[in-house]
Amino acid sequence: MNKAHQYIRQYLHAQTGVSLGPDKDYLIESRLHGLLKQHALTDLHQLVAVLEDRPDGELASGLISCLTTHETSWFRDQRPFDRLRHEVLPKLRERHSRQIAIWSAACSTGQEIYSIAMLLREAGFCAPQWQVSLLGSDVCKSAVAQAERGVYSRFEMERGLALTYRDRYFQTTEGGWSISSELRRSVRFEVANLIRLPVSQARFDVIFCRNVLIYFDQEVQKKVLQNLHERLVPGGFLFMGAAESPMGLCDAFQFVGTGSGLYSRSEVQPTNAATRART
């Protein structure tokens, strides 16, 4: 077994929870080829030597970016956004509080959380009486940096974004389209690792964590679900990918409605008063 490949797989798993087997060594080589050239390294053994010396440096950040998946699009798969608007938001309207906190827990380059921001405005949640807190986070620093900039290429814009939304919330800019300053200011972004979330009193009404757990082994899946559970208010909602489910991994969630993908946190009494997320 190639020790360099083994080290990289173990490093990636320790840092992000993503599991790559030896059968994915070809993927490691192809995806890291450009990173080697960028840092003037001749092979993976040199890359490993740098990682061992500076495990949290620029090279490490680049490796995580290259070996994690950033697939995303506007209103991806559509049905979760329909369920958010027609099932979840009406339930949140019924609550006495006029505060809503939503977290996109693997936001990639920002399309998911900005889609949510646009949907909320279309549904009337931008009125002064509503205090809306939106957070997008990702383990990849470069993805979060693009999300914060809010600038997208023509190709990215054509993936799922209706022209009415484009014309309403974007302006043309050099090299693509820029999201409106108002919408950009409504979302906070941060680099975050779902397996090692910092201690926080922030709680969310809705968490989107879609098409993420499929890249983790079972133990990491359990840890991530536990962390997400702790960040949801009692009765809060969790959106997952169609091929994902917390069932059998965490018994503190229950199905919502029919079909897959939407779950709620069981009504349990928290030990401490939950504090909603704040920007």
Per-residue pLDDT of the chain (279 residues; tens, 9 = 90+): 489 999 999 999 999 999 899 999 999 999 999 999 999 999 999 999 999 988 878 999 999 999 998 899 999 999 999 999 999 999 999 987 889 999 999 999 999 999 999 999 999 998 788 999 999 999 999 999 999 999 999 999 999 999 999 999 999 998 899 999 999 999 999 999 999 887 676 899 999 999 999 999 999 999 999 999 999 999 999 999 988 999 889 888 998 987 779 999 986 533 333 445 544
For each of the domains in the chain, give its residue range(s) and CATH number, in order of start: 3-67 (1.10.155.10), 79-276 (3.40.50.150)
Residue with tokens 């069932």: 247
Helices (H), the chain: 3-16, 25-38, 44-53, 58-67, 79-83, 89-94, 111-122, 141-149, 154-157, 163-169, 181-185, 218-231
- Other C-beta atoms within 10 Å of 1: how many? 7
Q: How far is CA 9 from CA 54, 63, 161, 253, in A?
A: 17, 11, 36, 31
Give the pLDDT confidence score for residue 126 in this predicted structure. 81
Residue with tokens 């397996």: 195
Q: Taking the mean position of all CA atoms in its chain, how far away is CA 260? A: 19
- Of 225, 224, 238, 230, residue with least CA distance to 271: 230
Angle at CA 206, nearest 5°, toward 213 and 131?
Answer: 145
pTM reported for the whole predicted model:
0.89
Q: For 189, phi and psi rounded to 5 degrees? A: -120, 150
Give the pLDDT confidence score for residue 1 in this predicted structure. 47
The C-alpha torsion from 233 through 238 and 244 to 247, rounded to 10°, is 40
Give the pLDDT confidence score for residue 53 in this predicted structure. 87
Give the pLDDT confidence score for residue 279 in this predicted structure. 46
